[in-house]
Amino acid sequence: MNSLVFSYRRVFIVSTLLALLVRLVFLEGFRISSSSMFPTLFAGDLVFVSKAAFNLHFPFSNFAFFTWRTPERGEVVVFSLPDHSLETIVKRVVATEGDRVAFQDGALYINDIPADYQPLKSRPLYMEKFPWTSYPIQKSEEPMKDFGPVDVPKGHFFALGDNRSDSVDSRAWGPIPATCLKGRVALVWLSFSSAGKILSDRIGLWVQ
Domains held by the chain: number: 1
Q: Which structural domain, as residue segments, surrounds residue 62?
A: 27-206
Which pLDDT does position 44 carry in this prediction?
Answer: 93
The string of pLDDT tens digits covering residues 2-32 is 554 445 455 445 444 444 444 444 568 889 9
Evaluate if pTM is beyond 0.95: no
Q: 102 phi and psi, to 5 degrees?
A: -155, 155
- Assess if residue 59 is contained within a domain: yes
Question: What residue ranges of the chain have pLDDT lower than 70?
Answer: 1-27, 55-67, 85
Q: Does some domain include residue 68?
A: yes
pLDDT at 53: 73
Beta pairing class for 100-104 and 84-96 = unpaired
> How many CB atoms lie under 10 A from the CB of residue 48?
18
Q: Is the peptide bond before 149 cis (omega within 30 degrees of 0)?
A: yes
Determine, yes or no, domain membership for 201: yes
Query: Would you say residue 139 lies in a domain?
Result: yes
- List pLDDT tens digits, range 80-92: 898 876 788 999 9
Torsion of CA 208, 120, 204, 40, to 10 degrees: 50
Check residue 26 and give its pLDDT. Answer: 56
| Structural domain contains residue 19 | no
For residue 38, what is the domain's CATH number?
2.10.109.10
Position 153 in a domain: yes
